[in-house]
Amino acid sequence: MAEKVILTGDRPTGRLHVGHYAGSLKRRVELQNSGEYDKIFIMIADAQALTDNADNPAKVRDNIMEVALDYLSVGLDPAKSDMFVQSYVTELTELSFYYMNLVTVSRLQRNPTVKAEIQLRNFETSIPVGFFTYPISQAADITAFAATTVPVGEDQMPMIEQTKEIVHKFNAVYGETLTDPQILLPENKACMRLPGIDGKAKMSKSLGNCIYLSETEEDVRKKVMSMFTDPGHLRIEDPGSLEGNTVFIYLDAFCNDAHFAEYLPEYANLDELKAHYQRGGLGDVKVKKFLNNVLQEELSPIRARRKEYEGRIGDVYEILEQGSKAAKERAAQTLAKVKHAMKIDYFDTQEFLEEQKKKYR
């Protein structure tokens, strides 16, 4: 059977939050523990983070360990998954440079995620070239590991499409070399895009609307109690709306029937709770307290594991170093194949010399 390989990762620009967890981290751990994958690589994308943080390298550096701790605390296991730092794998940069020849400027301009990020960062009039081309570097990340499966959030779809185009083009021009990857999206729709606690479309550090995985129990509780709900739901008797109601979106993402049995036995499941809310007579505070219980149950083992790893940071460093070495080895194999396919491996075999000898005979 063909090898099944996972590659995915995150930019180290801040601690990871429950949006990352619902959208991707939780699934990664399930995939890791399914035993169905031959190899799993989880990348801390520092080089990509620098494409829009060139003037703030300290931020990226500071968050390498934070993200590593987040990974370990959610249950990624170094015995099963190689966690590594992108910039250590210099082969990725080299691959990117060759892939750049296979992509047009207009194709990059059409990438919806890049477009949105350009707006968000007010780059309109001065887009750094490195940032503009990061989808190409992401294709290098994925193909370097011959990844078959890329578990990511929905916002990464355009990157996978771009990667597939590069794979097809490369293989058509230079011969069958690169592996065509598949995206793996979250199964649960609410997990796809968890809003911030203020109801804004995305959790983002700059908006201050995130619940971090490393947050204390008390801070999580405070944030849950301050969550955006239905602004029209003023009195308990009023009918409430679920549309854009953050608390219910989080419940969609995190709760199951067992949570009801444990914390809110007067309802059998989320459908019953929702129906009562819509009918009127159910207050926000009660729903928020329930959500808090659900989230605390999910987050408390994560918090405990983080504390444990924080107490042996030298080991975490070593996990990253070992993972990075394993990743580099794998990427080097792909780079060698790529250079061979492109016939730029002049000194790796005798072929080039033989050709030249014939030519100049």
Cα dihedral 116, 120, 122, 127 in deg (nearest 10)? -50
> Does 5 participate in binding ligand TRP (rule CB under 6 A)?
no
Cα separation of 34 and 129, whole Å? 40
> Does 11 participate in binding ligand TRP (rule CB under 6 A)?
yes
Cα separation of 191 and 185, whole Å? 9
> Does 10 participate in binding ligand TRP (rule CB under 6 A)?
yes
> Does 7 participate in binding ligand TRP (rule CB under 6 A)?
yes
Please identify the residue of the shown chain whose CB is closest to the bound ligand TRP. 45
- In the complex, least distance from residue 241 CB atom to ligand TRP, rounded to whole angstroms: 32
For ligand TRP, which residue of 66, 82, 91, 141 counts as binding (CB under 6 A)? 141
Tokens describing residue 131: 């940032």
No. of helices (H) and no. of strands (E), the chain: 18, 5
Using the contact rule CB under 6 A, the part of the chain among 3-11, 114-122, 188-196, 232-240 near ligand TRP is: 3-11
Strand order in the sheet with 39-44: 82-85, 39-44, 5-10, 149-151, 182-184
Q: How far is CA 236 from the centre of its chain?
A: 39
Q: Count Cβ neighbours within 10 Å for each residue of 29-59 and write b for 16 or more, e otherwise.
A: bebbeeeebebbbbbbbbbbbbbbbeeeeee
> Does 253 participate in binding ligand TRP (rule CB under 6 A)?
no
Instruction: Pick between residue 202 and residue 325 the one whose CB is nearest to ligand TRP.
Output: 202
> Does 9 participate in binding ligand TRP (rule CB under 6 A)?
yes
Using the contact rule CB under 6 A, the part of the chain among 149-157, 294-302, 308-316, 340-348 near ligand TRP is: 149-157
Instruction: Pick between residue 48 and residue 162 the one whose CB is nearest to ligand TRP.
Output: 48
247, 225 in Cβ contact below 8 A?
no
- In the complex, least distance from residue 134 CB atom to ligand TRP, rounded to whole angstroms: 7
Q: Which of residues 33-62 bind ligand TRP (CB under 6 A)?
A: 45, 48
Cα dihedral 337, 342, 344, 345 in deg (nearest 10)? 20
For ligand TRP, which residue of 150, 194, 270, 282 counts as binding (CB under 6 A)? 150
Q: Which of residues 207-236 bind ligand TRP (CB under 6 A)?
A: none
> Does 292 participate in binding ligand TRP (rule CB under 6 A)?
no
Using the contact rule CB under 6 A, the part of the chain among 8-16, 54-62, 190-198, 298-306 near ligand TRP is: 8-16
Cβ-proximal residues to 250 (8 Å cutoff; 6+ apart), any chain: 18, 190, 194, 227, 291, 295
Q: How many residues bind ligand TRP (CB under 6 A)?
A: 13
Tokens describing residue 358: 């014939």
> Does 68 participate in binding ligand TRP (rule CB under 6 A)?
no
> Does 83 participate in binding ligand TRP (rule CB under 6 A)?
no
Q: Which residues are at the interface with ligand TRP (CB under 6 A)?
A: 7-11, 45, 48, 138, 141-142, 150, 152, 156
